[in-house]
Amino acid sequence: MIELKNVSKTFTTGKKKVEALKDVSLKINKGEIYGVIGFSGAGKSTLIRCANLLERPTEGEVFIDGIDLTKLKKWQLRKARGKIGMIFQHFNLLSTATVYENVARPLKLSKVPKHEIKERVDKYLKIVGLDEKKNVYPAQLSGGQKQRVAIARALAQEPEVLLSDEATSALDPNTTSSILELLLRVNKELGITIFLITHELDVIQRICDRVGVMHHGELVEEGSVIDVFTKPQHPQTRKFVFDDANFQVPDSVKKGLSATGRLVSLTFIGEASNEPFLAAITKKFEVVPSILAGGIDQLKASSVGKLLIHLQGDPAEVEKAISYLESQQVTVEEVAS
Amino acid sequence: MIEFWTEWGTDITEAFWQTLLMTGISLAISIVIGLPLGILLVMTRKGGQAENRVFYSIVNTIINVIRSIPFIILLFLLLPLTRALVGTTIGVEGVILPLVVYTAPYIARLMESALLEVNKGVIEAYESMGISTTKIIWSVIIREARSTMILGLTIATIGLIGATAMAGLVGAGGLGDLAYQYGHLRFEPVVMYVVIIILIILVQAMQTFGNVLARRLRKD
């Protein structure tokens, strides 16, 4: 549905050259929710803006539904953009127009027939749950409500793809949840492919099918959310995943513990989280595990459990216990002290 | 009071209408020139929708040059040009050109700054929906800037009323002329005071009208 091929973007200001994107390629399938995560400055915002050519790549091609946007003439690009909705961190609504007008105006400007405009605006304001606020101005709405108007505005174009540029970053956690729910519904019920960027791990966990990790303008890792979460490869990905799962155990505590045994983190996926692995290894091997911290993350497709444990005992026995855990589809990671 | 009015009433009324006429005509022409110029400045500046360095720096410099010349000097400087273009340099017709030359660049600047205040994100959102630049200018940028534009035009109008008073010096008529000719040269201070009071009321009314209109257009 969306394909970026060897996309690079260099910004030149005076003599300074900044490579915001370096040869990024990615493919997003029809109907999926694909998220790109990265710290600020990683180039993710430039990346998503390349998907509808708000930012023209210095090199590379951008395909939406098989059409290379970079080869289109101005008027063709305008037409193609009608298929690509976009929402933003700061909502970007007309402050001088009511909720209704905010959704209706772009339709009017795109020459949608009058009776159809009213139908569509009513329909999509209902979907986002704002049909009661039709005649209110944006200044009287909360952040979450403003984002709902922006979503209704994007949906009213009846796009096939929705781009979300940090759409929840300016919202509080509760509001973020409700907006994520809405995006999930939009994806399921309207079948709209969603491409989003975020710096919040939570967003990726809760609604994305696949994830890409950006670092210094490069896409350093990509895969299904479960794979990337349970077996992160790139150091940057590990930073995201483990920052979240490291349970904030103080370094001094870790140091003391690694002197008396091995400190490992265990990751279980789905059903495996219910198995009593720790009891099993105590019985089978001469090891004494103690739990330091733990938690379960609910991903879109499955749940992932994480435990930080300390294994004491004869090194050979500990090694055997670890191999046993690995044979049971548990991911074991040595934790650096 | 009644005596004063029978003596000066017709002169004052006539001068008042002349002032309004001068202000109205030059304001209208200045808006017709200044508003598009302001839009062009915003579009051709760096990062604008139709970035064009050459155009921008030329227009920008011309505006700055004209804005550096005090109106009273501009008035005399333009005399030959006015004579060539309009055929006369006196009366209301004679003063429209200098008033427009004075006001249009000012309005262009005021419009430029009002338009620049519009949230870039909203413009981008409309670009992302495939709306053409022309439509974005009318339906997004100008719409969002209306309130600030009205305030800017109010400032320009008041400046213009002041300028028309100076235009009295070249025999353009109007309240300024009346105050100068009679109040100053023929020593009739009461005429001058009355003119001042009328000007104060006029300016107050303009400002209030501008503020109210701007507030009604503003929704945040």
Pick from A34-48, A322-336, B201-215: least confident: A322-336
- Residues of chain B contacting A141 with CB distance shorter than 8 Å: none
pLDDT tens string A180-237: 999 999 999 999 999 999 998 889 989 999 999 999 999 999 999 988 888 888 888 8
pLDDT the model gives residue A337: 57
d(CA A140, CA A142): 7
A142-152 average pLDDT score: 94
pLDDT tens string B92-141: 788 889 999 999 999 999 999 999 999 999 999 999 999 999 999 999 99
d(CA A94, CA A112): 19
Query: B147–A93: do the CB atoms touch at under 8 Å?
Result: no
Closest to A333 in 3D by CA, of A272, A271, A275, A263: A263
A92, B122 Cβ separation under 8 angstroms: yes
In CATH terms, the superfamily for domain A246-334 is ACT domain (3.30.70.260)
pLDDT tens string A234-281: 888 888 877 665 566 777 777 778 788 888 888 888 776 667 888 888
Q: Is the pLDDT of residue A332 over 90?
A: no
pLDDT the model gives residue A277: 83
CA distance A295 to chain B (A): 39
pLDDT the model gives residue A222: 94
Best B129, B135, B138, B218 member to test A by mutation, with max A CBs in 10 Å, is B129
Is B143 in CB contact (< 8 Å) with chain A?
yes
d(CA A170, CA A45): 15
Pick from A151-165, A272-286, B149-163: least confident: A272-286
- Residues of chain B contacting A86 with CB distance shorter than 8 Å: 125, 128-129
Nearest to A78 among B124, B132, B147 (CB): B132
B57, B131 Cβ separation under 8 angstroms: no
CA distance B130 to chain A (A): 4
| Domain layout of chain A by residue ranges | 2-241, 246-334
Is A261 in CB contact (< 8 Å) with chain B?
no
CA distance B129 to chain A (A): 5
Backbone angles phi, psi at B197, to 5 degrees: -60, -40
Give pTM, 2 decimals: 0.84
User: Nearest-5° angle of CA B93, CA B96, CA B102?
Assistant: 160
pLDDT the model gives residue B33: 96
Query: A82–B129: do the CB atoms touch at under 8 Å?
Result: yes
Exposure on the CB side of residue A272, measured as CA atoms within 13 A: 19
- Residues of chain A contacting B219 with CB distance shorter than 8 Å: 95-97, 137-139
CA distance A264 to chain B (A): 47
Exposure on the CB side of residue B168, measured as CA atoms within 13 A: 21
Fold of A2-241: Rossmann fold (3.40.50)
What domains appear along chain B, each with residue ranges and CATH number? 10-217 (1.10.3720.10)
- Residues of chain A contacting B125 with CB distance shorter than 8 Å: 86, 88, 92-93, 150, 153
Nearest to A110 among B131, B140, B220 (CB): B131
Give me chain A's average pLDDT, please.
89
Q: Interface pTM (ipTM) of the complex?
A: 0.84
A79-102 average pLDDT score: 94
Q: Is the pLDDT of residue B160 over 80?
A: yes
pLDDT the model gives residue A303: 84
A82-89 average pLDDT score: 94
pLDDT the model gives residue A244: 60
Q: How many contacts, defined by CB atoms under 8 Å, are there between A and B?
A: 74
d(CA A43, CA B58): 36
